[in-house]
Amino acid sequence: MDSRPWVVPPALMNDPGEEISELKVFDEHPQGDALLLFTLARDLVLWGSTPAAQRGELFSPEAGRGRFRQLAASALPAQVATLLDILASVLHTAKLAPRPGVVTEICQRIARWARAGGMGETALAFAQAAAIAEPMDARAAMLVGETAAAFGRFPRADTWFQRAIGIARRVRDWESYTGSYEKAGWLALGRGRTDEAENRFRTALRAARRRGISAAATHALIGLLQVAVETGRIDDARLRHDRAARAVRRNRTGEALLAAVSVDLWMLTGEFGRALECLDLVRLDARTRADRMYVLARTAHAAAGAGDLDRLSDTWPHAWELVKDTALPGRMRIRTCLELHRAAALAGDSIRAGDAFRLAAELAGADEPGWRVLPVLPGQP
């Protein structure tokens, strides 16, 4: 990290080899609104990267008048336009010096609005502007990592998590320190880097226990359980499950996360009835169409394994209908197809098994080159 906290390394702003991602904001909004959001995010990064004494010299009065004209013509929701108006006033009113954290908070509100609407580039642009406005705020840096990870920007997510860890250590913000290590562990696990994930979860666990941060310790234990499941270490996974379950009960946190990870464990061990019980809890947290699609498919798989054909008949068609939605993420659709393929194969339904496999292979070839999709043989879980 640069010793001058206002300097933003280029690696924080774009992933290696990508085009300038903030330009992709134009894919998420009508042109006028996109131009307003893009220019404000760009100007906020410049403002946040400039020493406070020099910020009044950044923008001309005409630039400010142009920005306010754009706001007046905006079709954005009223609450978002109000937030943008405040930010424009900060940028273009030379003597206006907001309280520390105000710009960060407003940018994060816009980022949350964009994230909820699936506008990943807008969310990431304003999350980054928020973190740059308060360069020693570890929580703000961690939120950029979370936003980047949520929209599949994994190199950038990892860079921001590492920055959050460095800032948190420097300012002694131990909750952000443990939280960033834990989230970096999940990121590594999602990228197939199990050894790295194990190390990050262990670091989070040690730091959380040392500082008495029970929630972070619980989540790290659940992460270590997921590593054992991912690597097929069943005996180790059972031990880790018991430890994580005790922590969840003792600290009254992490129940939904443990249920989601437990599904993987019980599916791995063939305990499909237990998997169905966990899926009933997981379903309550499935808020997006993509999440609902995948949970339904996993429920169909577990129902087939448990011999609950009525439940299989109820869930399979709903998941199949969702998986044909081309607006949903390609990789999630592939995973859903494979779950449905396994469900049908377990139930001996060769027609549905073939349909799901063919769609998975088609999606893998079109959207995820490099994925190998293999059929399940009869009798395989």
**326-340: pLDDT as tens digits:** 988 888 999 999 999
C-beta neighbour count of 284 within 10 angstroms: 10
Residue 197: what residue type?
A
- Looking at 153, 186, 221, the residue that finishes a domain is 153
Closest by alpha carbon to 150, among 178, 186, 177, 105?
186
- Mean pLDDT across 149-164: 93
pTM: predicted TM-score of the whole model, two decimal places: 0.84
Any idea which residue has 């994925």 for tokens? Answer: 371
Whether the predicted pLDDT of 149 surpasses 60? yes
Q: Are 208 and 217 in contact (CB under 8 A)?
A: yes
Residue 178: inside a domain: no
The predicted pLDDT at position 10 comes to 44
Residue 253: inside a domain: no
Closest by alpha carbon to 232, among 183, 267, 271?
267
CA distances from 229 to 126, 263, 300, 363 (A): 36, 10, 20, 26
- Looking at 153, 185, 220, the residue that finishes a domain is 153
Query: From CA 64, how far away is CA 303, in angstroms rounded?
Result: 60
Closest by alpha carbon to 286, among 267, 307, 306, 260?
260
Q: Are 147 and 111 in contact (CB under 8 A)?
A: yes
- Mean pLDDT across 261-270: 95
Whether the predicted pLDDT of 222 surpasses 60? yes
CA distances from 38 to 79, 129, 138, 306 (A): 18, 11, 25, 51
- Looking at 114, 133, 153, the residue that finishes a domain is 153
Closest by alpha carbon to 110, among 84, 131, 92, 147?
84
- Mean pLDDT across 213-232: 96
Residue 344: inside a domain: yes
C-beta neighbour count of 151 within 10 angstroms: 18
Whether the predicted pLDDT of 358 surpasses 50? yes
Name the band, by pLDDT with cuts 50, 70 and 90, for residue 285: confident
- Under DSSP, the state recorded for 53 is G
- Structure token pair of residue 131: 């973190």
Residue 162: inside a domain: no
Whether the predicted pLDDT of 208 surpasses 50? yes
The predicted pLDDT at position 330 comes to 87
- Under DSSP, the state recorded for 57 is G
Q: Around 87, how many Cα atoms within 13 Å sit in the side-chain half-sphere?
A: 33
Query: From CA 119, how far away is CA 43, in angstroms rounded?
Result: 20
Helices (H), 118-171: 120-133, 138-150, 154-171
Query: From CA 206, how far away is CA 200, in angstroms rounded?
Result: 10
Q: Are 75 and 32 in contact (CB under 8 A)?
A: yes
Closest by alpha carbon to 343, among 372, 305, 379, 310?
305
- Mean pLDDT across 349-365: 92
Residue 37: inside a domain: yes
Whether the predicted pLDDT of 366 surpasses 60? no
Closest by alpha carbon to 14, among 55, 42, 40, 34?
42
Number of domains in the chain: 2
Residue 336: inside a domain: yes
Residue 276: inside a domain: no
Write out pLDDT tens, residues 47-100: 888 887 788 778 777 777 777 888 888 889 999 999 999 998 888 876 667 777
Residue 62: inside a domain: yes
* Domain that residue 339 falls in: 297-381
